[in-house]
Amino acid sequence: MKPNLQSVLDALSARGVPSACPRCGTGDAWTAADGIVYVEVTGGHNVRSAALVCGHCGHVALHALAVLGLDD
């Protein structure tokens, strides 16, 4: 399953994560990169992640879907 932007933002908000970009401070300017990002970690494991992109400065933030309860 590919989570949509709103489900990722809702999961982050439920955990108290601020909506402002940590680089430029712009709030509510996030868009979702198309698809799922697989981050390879030590031992050959992959972490399924959602990539959010700040529409103001271009900062990219990766969020592990399993931690957010969005990974099937």
The model's pLDDT over 27-68, given as tens digits with 9 standing for 90+, comes to 888 998 888 899 999 988 999 999 999 999 999 999 999 999
State residue 35's pLDDT score: 81
Encoded amino acid at 22, one letter: P
SS3 state at 14? helix
State residue 19's pLDDT score: 92
Average pLDDT, integer, range 1-16: 90
Tally the C-alpha atoms within 13 A of residue 57's C-alpha that lie toward its C-beta. Answer: 12
Global confidence as pTM: 0.86
- Do 32 and 5 touch, CB atoms closer than 8 A? yes
- Whole-number Cα distances in Å, 41 to 3, 27, 35, 44, 47: 22, 30, 19, 6, 7
Confidence of residue 1 (pLDDT cuts 50, 70, 90): low
